[in-house]
Amino acid sequence: MLAQLEPFECYDQRAIRFMSSRTVFSRGLYRKRVVIEQSNLLIISDAPQAIFVALNSIIHHRKYLERYIKDHPKYRFSLEPINCEDDAPEVIKLAAFSAQLANVGPMAAIPGALAEIAVKDMAHQGSLVNLFENGGEIASISNKPINVGIYAGSSPLSGHIGLQLSPEDSPIGIATSSATVSHALSFGEADAVIITASSCALADAAATAVCNAVKGSDIEASVQSGLEVAETIPQIRAAMIIRGKYIGKIGKLPRLIKLNGSIDDLFEVSLHEIFPQKMRLL
């Protein structure tokens, strides 16, 4: 079943390129894919209004971000934590705080910060299912389980495992950093580092820090090095590192699931709607 949503009056149409002309309505949930400048988004909710609010949230906060980094280039290019003013925009302060905890530059937390703010704005609409993905960084507040597949490049584990987010996990932020898949700056060699935390901004910053530590010809030792870094970052819930055939984790992850579909199936449902016939609990 497909449901057409009319554009919300506050859309900045020049900033939005729709990847699909229709919003999918499946099992009581609306899903919208959209690109806003450099942000590749997937938004899922049980309420159309929450999707509109999320889109306007990211447009609004991206504008504040762009203005700020234009006037503060150090914020944009620093690879180390930096302080910002008390009156700085919300997204700037959230990313800077998270970067301090993870000991990375503040821009490493920006995608997660935008997702975290947007999903909170969605939840304020009274919607019960709220998921916002910003280029792989996921923020969710939901009273229904949501399945998230893990793509880890050429690793044999890629596309075969995932996480089932339960209502008890909410609010949750999930961030993935990769040295072999993403175009983002990374000094490590992990196929995927997955971090979970209550804050998506913190998960984003922590994933960068941990991924940077996974390097060296001894793959098993490199995974252990990444886990040791993860243990030093406060307020994260769990970390999982995938490099080649090796996988390591600390903390309490959401329930692991086994995916039986192909990589194409994974991307067809945008990593978040793996239906029961394509998964089993581990």
- Domain span at residue 196 reads 2-281
Query: DSSP states of 166-197 as a string?
Result: -GGG-SEEEEEE-SSS--S--SS--SEEEEEE
pLDDT digit string, tens, across residues 236-247:
999 999 888 888
Where is pLDDT greater, at 162 or 102? 102
Q: Is residue 156 over pLDDT 60? A: no
Higher-scoring residue by pLDDT: 148, 64: 64
Looking at residue 222, which CATH number applies to its domain?
3.10.520.10
The pLDDT tens digits for 92-129 are 999 999 999 999 999 999 999 999 999 999 999 999 99
Percent of the chain with pLDDT over 70: 76
Residue 10 pLDDT greater than 70, yes or no: no
pLDDT in the model for residue 260: 66
What's the pTM? Answer: 0.81
Local confidence band at 78 (pLDDT 50, 70, 90 cut-offs): very high
**Which H/E stretch holds residue 26?**
strand 23-26
Report the chain's mean pLDDT, rounded to a whole number.
81
How far apart CA 160 and CA 279 sit, in angstroms, is 9
Question: Over pLDDT 90: what percentage of the chain?
Answer: 61
Residue 223: half-sphere exposure toward Cβ, Cα within 13 Å: 17
pLDDT, tens digit (0-9, with 9 covering 90-100), for 21-68 = 233 444 578 999 998 887 889 999 999 999 999 999 999 999 999 999
Count of domains forming the chain: 1
Q: E-strand spans in 59-206?
A: 129-134, 137-142, 146-149, 161-165, 172-177, 192-197
Among the listed residues 55, 106, 53, the one whose alpha carbon sits nearest the alpha carbon of residue 78: 106
